[in-house]
Amino acid sequence: MVASPGVGVTCRAPAKLNLYLHVLGQRSDGFHVLDSLVMFADVGDVVRVESGPTLTLAVAGPFADDLAATDPENNLVVRAARALARHGGLEAAATITLDKNLPVAAGIGGGSADAAATLHALNALWGLAASDAELAELGMEIGADVPACLVSQPLLMGGAGEQIELAPTTPALSLVLVGPNAPLSTAQVFGARQGTRSEHGRMTPSDSVQAFVQDLSGRHNDLQAAAVALRPVIGDALGSLEVEPGCMLARLSGSGSVCFGIFPSAEDAEIAAENIARHHPDWWVVATSTSSATAEGHGQQ
């Protein structure tokens, strides 16, 4: 899509969830080799771009203050805009608004999703028609999770995050996300991680939530123990999910600190979210869902 002159472009930046995350080793360049199943939630940030004389970024939303002290030039949104402008041989000129609805440094790819949404939106606004492959290459320069966030469908992720393929059949999931306000950097968690290398955890295709969760329970997040050791409140968040009626599985997403719980239905998830929020009013708690993937591996958005 190419935006008409004077008309802005709005893109969603959904939360990325690592349903399992196995660390297979470490490369000579320092990046870890990962194996993960990634799905995207219906909750997320929103990026809007409009024509403007210079490149500006305004941040609003419930977590805007968490970015207030950050130099805008270091924000992944601005980095994405400048990278795309260089690629297209353009001056980086646009007015960008970021509605920051996701907690920062929470292991759900908020910054990467924002960068991906920015690439999509500016590609349309500027009429560049950059291909998916070109956007993915630019995205990898910005962050290892950006290529996956550009797709925003159920994915199998490998390498440092740059190796992605559409997942086999996966069911739509009803979830509760819990963020106990304990920001963690990925580097912190990898630095604290102990243990041996894991094996690949590729799962059997399934359109049954019960069968899917049973299969998923045989996998793990290799970063969870380190994250809990660094921020014990993450263990409290996991416990708050596990005790809710109907919780089928509770786990940390990515390097944390947001945890997810899988529930049999949207109603069960809503009830659990209300209970947890009532007992922990200072936590970020939301009931949400993911999309499914068809047998051919194409997500339904």
Q: Could you confirm whether 145 is annotated as catalytic?
A: yes
Sign of CA dihedral 98, 99, 104, 108: negative
Please tell me what DSSP assigns to residue 273: H
Q: Could you confirm whether 16 is annotated as catalytic?
A: yes
Query: What are the φ and ψ backbone dihedral angles of 42, each rounded to 5 degrees?
Result: -80, -10
Distance CA 146, CA 148 (A): 5
Residue whose C-alpha is closest to residue 286's, from 267, 264, 269: 269
Which of 45, 99, 114, 145 is flagged as catalytic? Answer: 145
DSSP string, 47-108: EEEE--SSEEEEEESTTGGGGTTS-GGGSHHHHHHHHHHHHHT----EEEEEE--SPSSSSS
Strand bridging mode 174-179 / 249-252: unpaired
- In 3-state terms, what secondary structure has residue 266? helix
Residues 6+ apart with CB under 8 A from 176: 241, 244, 260, 261, 263, 269, 272, 273, 276, 285, 286, 287, 288
User: Which structure tokens are listed for 69?
Assistant: 């002290």
The radius of gyration computed from the CA coordinates of the chain, to the nearest angstrom, equals 19
For the chain, where are the E strands, in sequence order? Answer: 9-26, 32-50, 55-60, 94-99, 155-159, 163-166, 174-179, 249-252, 259-263, 284-289
Could you check whether the bond before residue 206 is cis, i.e. omega within 30 degrees of 0? Answer: no
Which of 16, 45, 100, 222 is flagged as catalytic? Answer: 16
Catalytic residue ranges: 16, 145
